[in-house]
Amino acid sequence: MVYTGNNNEYLQLEYIDNTNCHYLKNTIQSSLTLLWFDEDDNVLNIDSVDYTFNKDQIVCLTEFHKVEVKHVNKLRLIRFNRLFYCIVDHDTEVGCKGILFFGASALPVLNIPDDEQKKLVTVWDMFMLEMEAVDSLQLSMLQMMLQRFLILCTRIYKLQQPTADKVTIDIVREFNYLVEQHFRKLHTVADYASLLNRSPKTIANTFTKVSDKTPLQLIQDRKLIEARRLLTYTDKAIKEIAYDLGFIDIQTFSRFFKKQTGVAPTEFREKNLKGSLATL
């Protein structure tokens, strides 16, 4: 089911199985997507990495994630564009920027607790009812339903970080969001600490409370994700990719990529090309 507003607001809600899983590959400009899995053993390749998702998990994706379907049982899809609801403009309402979306290197996967399951189902059911209501209040009601769903998902994320206080979570999500915006040009923790008016040591200490990765690793992971995307889904020359990601030359980029993945960029591209041809 798709809602389209007078000003190009876009919202899509779908039950997905193996008969309509092509929706997972569709891209809408400036859109965000939540996938809520109703059964076990759903396998998706996201940015050239295979993931298995099970019942009562939710994964949050942006338009920049590249999705290939390996195997799908049952799930639900919520997709909306920025004109329908901008999570950056409404960050004070839902607080999901840098957590559910634009979280730099981490793929946000939520495990739904039993006591939150009923709440999400209720919102989904109300969502579906409002998709069928055609009146002057429909857009506002649908936005309210989405807002509620995002708030519940953000709460679930915070439940998965029981030792983190609000200040810690806010610093981490702002850092994540800034990395997502600037990873091509800013490459050190000090760069982002300056934008946050914090010291690099404070940023590092904050991350130790919620992550097994350092802030520098997060920056490097985000560059690596983009490198994989460009090598897999574009025909850009490796020299051009290195330049796009802020490396001074192709040799520096190649050393970085091989250190992170164990293979050179050319080898990675050849392997993924062969894999794509094998599935045709």
Tell me the sheet residues that pair with 33.
61, 79
- Cα 119 to chain center, whole Å? 23
Tokens read off for 218 = 């997060």
Tokens (6 digits) for 184: 């091509």
- pTM (2 decimals)? 0.82
Q: What is the CA radius of gyration of the chain?
A: 20
**Boundaries of every domain in the chain:** 2-159, 166-279
Please give the Cα distance from 145 to 164 (Å, whole number).
28
Q: Per residue of the chain (280 residues), what is the pLDDT tens digit?
A: 999 988 999 999 999 999 999 999 888 888 999 999 999 999 999 888 899 999 999 999 988 888 999 999 999 999 999 999 998 888 888 888 888 888 766 688 999 999 899 999 999 999 999 998 888 889 999 999 999 999 999 989 888 876 667 788 888 889 988 998 899 999 999 999 999 999 999 999 988 887 778 999 999 999 999 999 999 889 999 999 999 999 999 999 999 999 999 999 999 998 877 555 344 3
> Which CATH architecture is the domain 2-159 placed in?
Sandwich (2.60)
- Residue 113 makes CB contacts below 8 A (sequence gap 6+) with 156, 159
Topology, domain 166-279: Arc Repressor Mutant, subunit A (1.10.10)
Count of residues making up the chain: 280
